[in-house]
Structure 1
Amino acid sequence: MASRFELKKSKNDKFVFNLLADNGKVILTSELYESKASALNGIESVKKNAPDDGRFGRLSAKDGSPYFTLKAGNGQVIGQSQMFSGEKARDDSIESVKNNAPGAVTDDQTV
Structure 2
Amino acid sequence: MSGWYELRKNSSGTWRLRLKAADARTLLDSGVYQDRATAEDAMALLRENCVREERFVRRIDSGGKNYFKLRAANQDVIVRSHLYDSEIALQHAIETIMRVGTTQQVKEA
TM-score, normalization: structure 1? 0.88
The secondary structure found in structure 1 opposite 2:31 is: coil
The answer for the alignment partner of 1:23 in structure 2 is: 23
The answer for the alignment partner of 1:56 in structure 2 is: 56
The secondary structure found in structure 2 opposite 1:32 is: strand
Per-residue Cα deviation, 1:32-73 (whole angstroms, up to 9, x for no partner):
211110100100110111111111111111101001121122
In structure 2, runs of 5+ residues without a counterpart are none
Supply the AA of the counterpart residue of 1:43. M
Supply the AA of the counterpart residue of 1:30. S
TM-score, normalization: structure 2? 0.90
State the shift of 1:13 in Å.
2.8
The answer for the alignment partner of 2:13 in structure 1 is: 13
The answer for the alignment partner of 1:66 in structure 2 is: 66
Task: Give the conservation status (yes or no) of the 8 Å contact 2:19–2:28.
Answer: yes
Richer in strand (by share): 2
The answer for the alignment partner of 2:87 in structure 1 is: 87
Per-residue Cα deviation, 1:57-96 (whole angstroms, up to 9, x for no partner):
1111110100112112222222222111111001100000
Task: Give the conservation status (yes or no) of the 8 Å contact 1:50–1:70.
Answer: yes
Runs of 4+ in 1 over 6 A off after TM superposition: none
Pairwise CA RMSD: 1.6
In structure 1, runs of 5+ residues without a counterpart are none
Aligned length: 109
